[in-house]
């Protein structure tokens, strides 16, 4: 499955929630929805990252692909930018880490100059909020529905950079 197909699950959820979440909704229920979006988005991103890495390994060699399929079966939400660089991409070589960093830095500059939004910070916030909600059932005061949606959209750009970096 192409990695981007994974995004449809959360895109559909967000499309539905956009019609349900209104300003007058009870604050507690609103935070539950934000938490669900964060958990769903990070889960989908984790699956997409696994797809990218396994597909890359499989293109190198069928047996290597099978090995990576098993290796990345349980990433358990460890997909921060630091995790990607140090624990996942690094296994394939420093060349890919450098390429990912270069592509992501360019994406960050482009997004900052056009919209004033940080791809890296939004992606990091989404993962932080997911972890807080999944492990403690709470969200930081600065977590909002719109910011969670933004984190997911900008997270797609992180994964596009990863996919581009993982080429020969």
pLDDT tens profile 120-147 = 999 999 999 999 999 999 999 889 999 9
Confidence bin at 97 (pLDDT 50/70/90)? very high
d(CA 127, CA 75): 13
Does 26 fall in a domain?
no
Q: What is the pLDDT of residue 75?
A: 81
Which range marks the domain in which residue 111 is found?
A: 3-21+31-165
- What is the token pair recorded at 41? 């988005």
**Mean pLDDT over residues 64-92, rounded?**
91
2 — phi, psi (to 5°)? -60, 140
Provide, rounded to the nearest whole percent, the portion of the chain with pLDDT above 70: 98
23-65 pLDDT, tens digit per residue, is 667 888 888 999 999 999 999 999 999 999 999 999 999 999 9
pTM over cut 0.75: yes
| Torsion (CA) 87, 83, 164, 159 in degrees, nearest 10 | 140
Q: Does the residue 69 lie in any domain?
A: yes
Higher pLDDT, 53 or 77: 53
Residue 95 inside a domain? The answer is yes
What is the distance between the alpha carbons of residues 127 and 41, in angstroms, rounded to a whole number? 9
- Separation CA 34–CA 27 (nearest Å): 10
**Residue 102 lies inside a defined structural domain of this protein:** yes
Structural domains in the chain (count): 1
Burial of 115 (0-12, 13-18, 19+ CB in 10 A): exposed
């Amino acid at each position: 499955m192409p990695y981007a197909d994974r995004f449809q699950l959360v895109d559909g959820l967000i499309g539905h929630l956009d019609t349900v979440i209104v300003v007058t909704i009870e604050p507690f229920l609103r935070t539950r929805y934000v938490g669900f979006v964060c958990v769903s988005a990070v889960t989908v991103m984790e699956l997409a990252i696994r797809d990218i890495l396994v597909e890359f390994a499989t293109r190198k060699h069928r047996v290597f692909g099978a090995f990576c399929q098993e290796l990345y079966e349980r990433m358990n939400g460890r997909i921060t930018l630091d995790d990607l660089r140090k624990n996942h991409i690094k296994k394939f070589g420093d060349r890919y880490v450098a390429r990912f960093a270069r592509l992501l830095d360019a994406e960050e500059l482009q997004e900052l100059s056009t919209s004033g939004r940080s791809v890296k910070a939004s992606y990091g916030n989404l993962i932080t909020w997911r972890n807080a909600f999944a492990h403690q059932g709470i969200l930081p005061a600065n977590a909002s529905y719109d910011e969670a949606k933004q984190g997911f959209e900008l997270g797609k750009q992180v994964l596009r950079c990863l996919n581009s970096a993982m080429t020969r």
